[in-house]
A and B are shown apart, each in its own frame.
Chain A
Amino acid sequence: MISSLPWYILLLPLAAAVAIVLLTRSWPRLSSSISVAAVLGSFVCSCFVFVQPDIRALELTWIDVRPLLYVPLGFVLDELSKTMLVLVSGIGALIHIYSLGYMREDDGNSRYFASLSFFMFSMLGIVLSNNFVMMFIFWELVGVSSYLLIGHWFERDTAAEAAKKAFLTNRIGDFGFMLGILMAWTATGTVVFSEMSHQLGRITSYPGYLTVSALLIFCGAVGKSAQFPLHVWLPDAMEGPTPISALIHAATMVAAGVYMLVRVGFLVEASPHALSIIAWIGTITAVMAALIATQQNDIKRILAYSTISQLGYMVMAVGLASGQAAMFHLFTHAFFKALLFLGAGSIIVMLHHEQNIWKMGGLAGRLGITFLTFMVGTLALIGFPPFSGFFSKDAILALAHEKNSAIFWLALFTAFLTAFYMLRLVVVVFFGRPRSDQARAGREAPWVMIGPLILLALPAFASGFNFFAKIFVQLPGETEAGWLIPGMALGATLTGVILAIVLYRGRETDPVNFAPFRNRFYFDEIYAFLIAATQGALSKISAFLDRWVLDAGFVRGTSTATWGVGSLLRLLQVGNLQAYSFLFGLGIVVLIYFTLFK
């Protein structure tokens, strides 16, 4: 059945963004209502599309230089993309509503909602794309909306720098992504996913070429999903408003890398070498980010590192050739991580933008609903049965156990760390005595903010259950190991929980201080040094050469040496129109002379 519904899903948010920028910028309330209406419209359309078994959409032509290159603007509507549609527009809708409360006193309210709608448009575009170039288009647009929203408070230097860093880091990943697309296209002659999977035979006979192109495409995911070594932008992205951190930098956009890898699974899974590198990158990321998270003090940064770590799990699952396990974890993670961020946002805004967990404390009583929902998110994240994260993480652990024992042990260690840093957060923030005046005065957030928390808490609890999850995602098959893996996972989690409670109960300051974790393994410092040593130095040298050798020495030196040029100079300094006309005439005369009389 051909329907225009998918186009509405995509274009409603775009229309809202355009309308806000062009027409309603000076009316923040109207702007925010338009934006919320658009995302609700997208969500309703997505639900309709979700239940239609056989639906297709009209295809437009973006570039057509056949037989060389044909890029359609067309949609892929299968189970994978339908689930993502509902997920993205659903969580997006909740976060739009939450933003009504969170941003209501902000000066840039209209700009915020325009960017948010623009983000929805771009993200839904990634989900719907049926070819590489179109996906790349929306991929970069998502990057730019993320740039706009991280830099929403652009007059703050930290936000301005963070926005720039996020965009540039993603551009580096996209460099690889585009190159991978070029290589895959060169070999198969198409950029459309379905055609490429049919033509794949043309590359599989060159395993090296295939591996390189798959890994380059993976680079795009490394950037977008903040995997090692391009993870550095995500923690800084927390400079943006908290609903943005929940929507873009936790639930949806950063998961786009994983979605893309699952979408092009046919290509990635054809190369065993690429797969094992992907699995290891995911593993390293998961462990590294979890280690860093244990020593951070900013509530949002802890959650950001936790996001990186969980994305590492998903990438690990992709690398272990199970797109289903990756999507399952993506699905559950979207709910509980959005919930955790929104809970953090509700704390932050009620404590007048205090983000340091050591300035909080004893909030369990004061912010009751926030606390309860935050606990649901925490239990889901640390994989406590029967919360959703338990099932999806278990699927990945079982997979790792089956395929690669080293990765399995590291994944299990990460599960322990996850429980440890989350309970550290919960104990310090919600229990003990309040450690600042703001914490003593904290009150519960308004209902537009609490409502989405409750609505998200339900799937964060239940989305792991078989009967619920299988409506949306293909669940990975049961493995042989039975209760061994869940048992070990639970053991690791409980160890982490107990250790955190013992260490942090009733503390006024952090009893542990381990500099490498606290300083994020010095990645930022190392990168700053490397950039200064390469790009900075090269650009200074080039600029010097250009100015003093190419320009001054070469050009000016030779030109002033010539008498004819010297007199030209005099003519010009006069600014004499006759002189120019004379020169012009001279050219014409020379032309005629040479062509006709010689």
Chain B
Amino acid sequence: MILPFIVFCPIVAALAILCGAPARRTALWAAGFTLAATLLVYFEFDAGRRGFDFVVSYPISDAWRLNFTLGVDGLSLIMLLLTAIVTFAAIWFTGPIATHEHAFHACLLLIAGGALGAFASLDLFFFYAFHELALIPTFLLIGIWGTGNRHAAAWKITIYLATGSFILLLGLIMLYRSVPDGARSFDIRALQKAAALGMIPTDAQGTIFLVLLIGFGILVSLFPFHTWAPEAYASAPAPAAMLHAGVLKKFGLYGLLRVAIPLLPQGAQQWTTLLLVLLLGNIIYIGLVTIAQKRLDWMLGYSSVMHMGYIFLGIASGTLLGMNGAAVLIFAHGISIALLFGIAGEIRQRTGTLLLSDLGGLGKIMPRAGLAFGLAAFASIGLPGFANFAGEVMVLFGAFRNGAEPYRFHIFQIATVLALWGVVISAVYMLRAYRKVFMGAMPENWSGVTDLRRSLHVPIGLLVAVTLWFGFFPQSLVRIVSPTFKSYFTQKP
């Protein structure tokens, strides 16, 4: 019963807030309870067992073979953990809201509830529906509480993600219908069995995989479907950017790892080359675009687009190592980007601008912000000691290994070399931004700026501690997700 609690705790709290419960306090308690319950699942979870744990199922309609089923395996568990942690931090980061404070907090909680529901659902219908539930408050947060050109940004992200969702929906329907009539089901476990028995014909797999790749890809800002991301994150209020870039965006990656790769392995192989080209677009092309950015928020938005490329590389690698790396990186990136957006939001509140040329020397008057941003910045560029590095190592090793033979460089080796160069690129833009914002001489007009309030030590400490812990002991994540991916390789006929 703990999974329904985790999923519905934020949703019920959101409704309570809309009905008039004190906004911030309710939201924080709900996020805290969710986090505690997720941690309980994390510690109770038995990595040795196969399949899903903590399963609960309620029949919705027998005739439609529709059940509301929740359950976790290693992969969904780390997604839940990520969501719970980032939600807690994002709500804590939320300062006073001038207008509609209740609705603001309710939106945040709904995003969290939707994401948690999507990651815990074992039923494709609810998998999809929960994600939609989380998207709508995202649009609202940008459109109503955003800054800058918020209407255009909200409009663009809505068009984009609605289109992505729709294509995804098409793909899921095609997937459902590709299974012979008797074996049709929304249940992911049943579909996995069907796939293992070879019930999904190879020629159909190619088409379905492509549709799913585009659908999920748009949601994750896969090149060239990425242009919504930086603009939306720049306009979004910081907690919304934290939740979307940190958690909700990862739905697409989770979907690929959960649905597309295990159910359509032959389809995945057909499109490997395309995926490699696109993800190099993310890493190299977007990396270069990121260097040219003049505003901190845009730069962070682009950097998060760029780093998706590494996760795609892990997924594309088709090796156990690479997929483990992708999962670790999903988690690690979510934590680090949330912290970056959180601090950037605090800076914007104080200075009113995130133009890099206007900022400078803030490290002197905001040492706490400088330390926190520095840690997150170094985490995001893959400095060892942070979980991001562990993920990147596994992704790069996994991808390089694919089809390697001495004297020959195949496409995977070439892609890995270029991706490795991306690590240099990301250091270039991140250190440049850090140098511009926190180092150097301080302009006179910022002398009255105050440092982060002390209460923010809690969310910052939480995020930093988590990424450091899993950076020094990545095995504690790998141990959990590895069985999920191993089952993908053993179920092949």
User: Which residues of A pack against B, CB within 8 Å?
Assistant: 21, 61-65, 68-69, 71, 133, 136-138, 140-141, 144, 151, 154-157, 159-161, 163-164, 167-168, 171-172, 175, 178-179, 182, 185-187, 203, 206, 208-209, 535, 538-540, 542-543, 546, 550-551, 554-556, 559, 565, 568-569, 572-573, 575, 577, 580-581, 583-584, 587-588, 590-592, 594-596
> Quick check: A171 and B158 within 8 Å, CB to CB?
no
- With A168-B431, A171-B427 as given contacts, are A155 and B166 in contact (CB-CB < 8 Å)? no
How far in angstroms is the closest Cβ of chain A from B348?
22
- With A65-B482, A535-B428, A542-B289 as given contacts, are A595 and B423 in contact (CB-CB < 8 Å)? no
> Quick check: A182 and B400 within 8 Å, CB to CB?
yes
> Quick check: B474 and A62 within 8 Å, CB to CB?
yes
The CA-CA distance from A3 to B308 in the complex, in Å, is 43
B201 interfacial by beta-carbon distance below 8 Å? no
The CA-CA distance from A157 to B435 in the complex, in Å, is 9
How far in angstroms is the closest Cβ of chain B from A571?
9
Chain B contacts of A64 at CB under 8 A? 475, 478
The CA-CA distance from A168 to B421 in the complex, in Å, is 12
The CA-CA distance from A62 to B474 in the complex, in Å, is 6
Across the interface, B173 reaches (CB within 8 A) one of A156, A160, A542, A591, namely A591
Chain A contacts of B439 at CB under 8 A? 151, 154-155, 159-160, 163
B262 interfacial by beta-carbon distance below 8 Å? no
The CA-CA distance from A539 to B169 in the complex, in Å, is 36
B321 interfacial by beta-carbon distance below 8 Å? yes
B125 interfacial by beta-carbon distance below 8 Å? yes
How far in angstroms is the closest Cβ of chain A from B218?
11
Within 8 A of A (CB), among B371-411: 371, 378, 383-385, 389-390, 393-394, 396-398, 400-401, 404, 406-407
> Quick check: A168 and B428 within 8 Å, CB to CB?
yes
How far in angstroms is the closest Cβ of chain B from A551?
4
B154 interfacial by beta-carbon distance below 8 Å? yes
Question: Taking CB as reference atom, which chain A residue is nearest B421?
Answer: A175
Across the interface, A179 reaches (CB within 8 A) one of B291, B371, B420, B432, namely B420
6 A-B pairs closest in CB distance: A543-B292, A137-B384, A160-B439, A551-B227, A539-B291, A539-B288
The CA-CA distance from A596 to B132 in the complex, in Å, is 20
> Quick check: B136 and A584 within 8 Å, CB to CB?
yes
Chain B contacts of A171 at CB under 8 A? 423-424, 427
The CA-CA distance from A209 to B406 in the complex, in Å, is 6
Across the interface, B396 reaches (CB within 8 A) one of A138, A182, A203, A591, namely A182
> Quick check: B292 and A595 within 8 Å, CB to CB?
no
How far in angstroms is the closest Cβ of chain A from B270?
24
> Quick check: B397 and A538 within 8 Å, CB to CB?
no
Chain A contacts of B291 at CB under 8 A? 535, 539
B64 interfacial by beta-carbon distance below 8 Å? yes
Q: Which of B90-98, B138-146, B331-339 contacts A (4 or more CB under 8 A)?
A: B138-146
Across the interface, A140 reaches (CB within 8 A) one of B143, B289, B384, B424, namely B384
> Quick check: A186 and B159 within 8 Å, CB to CB?
no
> Quick check: A178 and B478 within 8 Å, CB to CB?
no
Across the interface, A572 reaches (CB within 8 A) one of B132, B143, B420, namely B143
How far in angstroms is the closest Cβ of chain B from A143?
9
> Quick check: B378 and A144 within 8 Å, CB to CB?
yes
Question: Taking CB as reference atom, which chain A residue is nearest B429?
Answer: A539
The contact size tier of chain B is 35 or more
The CA-CA distance from A141 to B379 in the complex, in Å, is 12
> Quick check: A172 and B424 within 8 Å, CB to CB?
yes
Chain B contacts of A559 at CB under 8 A? 159
B224 interfacial by beta-carbon distance below 8 Å? yes
- With A136-B384, A209-B406, A584-B136 as given contacts, are A69 and B292 in contact (CB-CB < 8 Å)? no
- With A64-B475, A154-B440, A164-B435 as given contacts, are A572 and B401 in contact (CB-CB < 8 Å)? no
Across the interface, B383 reaches (CB within 8 A) one of A61, A144, A209, namely A144
B484 interfacial by beta-carbon distance below 8 Å? no
The CA-CA distance from A144 to B427 in the complex, in Å, is 11
- With A140-B384, A155-B361, A581-B136 as given contacts, are A167 and B442 in contact (CB-CB < 8 Å)? no
9 inter-chain pairs at a CB distance below 8 angstroms, sorted by A residue, are: A21-B371, A65-B320, A65-B482, A141-B385, A155-B439, A157-B440, A580-B136, A584-B136, A591-B172
How far in angstroms is the closest Cβ of chain A from B405?
9
Majority DSSP secondary structure for residues of A touching B: helix
Question: Taking CB as reference atom, which chain B residue is nearest A191?
Answer: B397
> Quick check: B169 and A546 within 8 Å, CB to CB?
no
Across the interface, A182 reaches (CB within 8 A) one of B363, B378, B397, namely B397
The CA-CA distance from A588 to B176 in the complex, in Å, is 15
B165 interfacial by beta-carbon distance below 8 Å? yes
> Quick check: B424 and A594 within 8 Å, CB to CB?
no
How far in angstroms is the closest Cβ of chain A from B117?
14
Majority DSSP secondary structure for residues of B touching A: helix
- With A172-B424, A584-B136, A588-B129 as given contacts, are A164 and B431 in contact (CB-CB < 8 Å)? yes
> Quick check: A175 and B423 within 8 Å, CB to CB?
yes
Chain B contacts of A157 at CB under 8 A? 440-441
Across the interface, B478 reaches (CB within 8 A) one of A63, A209, A551, namely A63
Chain A contacts of B293 at CB under 8 A? 543
> Quick check: A168 and B427 within 8 Å, CB to CB?
yes
- With A575-B143, A580-B140, A584-B136 as given contacts, are A68 and B401 in contact (CB-CB < 8 Å)? yes
- With A187-B406, A543-B289, A543-B293 as given contacts, are A572 and B154 in contact (CB-CB < 8 Å)? yes
> Quick check: A587 and B132 within 8 Å, CB to CB?
yes
- With A63-B474, A69-B394, A546-B227 as given contacts, are A583 and B162 in contact (CB-CB < 8 Å)? yes
The CA-CA distance from A315 to B214 in the complex, in Å, is 51
How far in angstroms is the closest Cβ of chain B from A298?
21
Across the interface, B288 reaches (CB within 8 A) one of A21, A61, A209, A538, namely A538
Taking A63-B390, A141-B383 as given, write out 13 further A-B residue pairs in contact, using a Cβ cutoff of 8 Å, ordered by the A residue number.
A68-B401, A138-B384, A141-B385, A154-B363, A161-B435, A182-B397, A182-B400, A186-B401, A539-B292, A555-B227, A559-B159, A587-B166, A591-B173
Across the interface, B475 reaches (CB within 8 A) one of A21, A62, A538, A543, namely A62
> Quick check: A203 and B169 within 8 Å, CB to CB?
no
- With A63-B478, A164-B432, A206-B406 as given contacts, are A155 and B440 in contact (CB-CB < 8 Å)? yes
Across the interface, B424 reaches (CB within 8 A) one of A163, A175, A208, namely A175
How far in angstroms is the closest Cβ of chain B from A269?
19
How far in angstroms is the closest Cβ of chain A from B345?
21
Chain B contacts of A209 at CB under 8 A? 406-407
Chain A contacts of B441 at CB under 8 A? 155-157
How far in angstroms is the closest Cβ of chain B from A452?
30
How far in angstroms is the closest Cβ of chain B from A550?
6
Chain A contacts of B431 at CB under 8 A? 164, 167-168
Chain A contacts of B158 at CB under 8 A? 568, 572
Chain B contacts of A206 at CB under 8 A? 406-407
B177 interfacial by beta-carbon distance below 8 Å? yes
The CA-CA distance from A156 to B363 in the complex, in Å, is 12
> Quick check: B442 and A155 within 8 Å, CB to CB?
yes
Chain B contacts of A554 at CB under 8 A? 224
How far in angstroms is the closest Cβ of chain A from B51?
20
> Quick check: B289 and A539 within 8 Å, CB to CB?
yes
Chain A contacts of B474 at CB under 8 A? 62-63
How far in angstroms is the closest Cβ of chain A from B11?
15
- With A185-B397, A535-B428, A551-B227 as given contacts, are A63 and B289 in contact (CB-CB < 8 Å)? no
Chain B contacts of A155 at CB under 8 A? 361, 363-364, 439-442
Across the interface, B177 reaches (CB within 8 A) one of A542, A550, A595, namely A595
Question: Taking CB as reference atom, which chain A residue is nearest B162?
Answer: A583
Chain B contacts of A556 at CB under 8 A? 156
The CA-CA distance from A133 to B385 in the complex, in Å, is 12
Across the interface, A133 reaches (CB within 8 A) one of B64, B393, B406, B428, namely B393
Chain A contacts of B319 at CB under 8 A? 68
The CA-CA distance from A559 to B474 in the complex, in Å, is 43
How far in angstroms is the closest Cβ of chain B from A393?
35
The CA-CA distance from A572 to B143 in the complex, in Å, is 8
Within 8 A of A (CB), among B424-480: 424, 427-428, 431-432, 435, 438-442, 473-475, 478
How far in angstroms is the closest Cβ of chain B from A10?
12
How far in angstroms is the closest Cβ of chain B from A146?
13
